[in-house]
Amino acid sequence: MKASRGLRHRTRKLLRKNVRERGAIPPLSLVMQKYSIGDKVHIVPNPAIHEALPHRRYVGKTGTIVGERGRAYLVEIAIGSKRKIIITVPEHLRPAQIGN
């Protein structure tokens, strides 16, 4: 029998919450966060929210908001020499701190 190759295969450690965050709902400050086009964001998926969960290859990447689609955002990410656009909700995004 062939091994499963689903969307979340090999993510046992990658898509896991810290032991002190388990069961906690995301804070409203993250859910209600508004981003503008051109904002830089980090992709930090919340495994408890399955809606628009980014693929594991994008975990930890930084991208730019290029548009909105309903409640979700279009985020452009550079992977090598290619530019990818992913659609995800604000629960999986964190504002990037650029410069101090």
| pLDDT band at residue 18 under the 50/70/90 scheme | confident
Q: Residue 76 corresponds to which tokens in the numbers above?
A: 């452009």
pLDDT, mean over the chain: 90
| pLDDT band at residue 99 under the 50/70/90 scheme | low
| pLDDT band at residue 8 under the 50/70/90 scheme | confident
Q: What is the CATH code of the structural domain delimited by 1-100? A: 2.30.30.70
Domain spans, the chain: 1-100
The residues, any chain, with a CB within 8 Å of residue 47's CB and separated by 6 or more, are: 15, 16, 17, 53
pLDDT at 78: 95
* pTM score: 0.85
Share of the chain above pLDDT 70, in %: 98
pLDDT at 67: 97
The residue with greater pLDDT, 97 or 63, is 63
In this model, does residue 66 exceed pLDDT 60?
yes
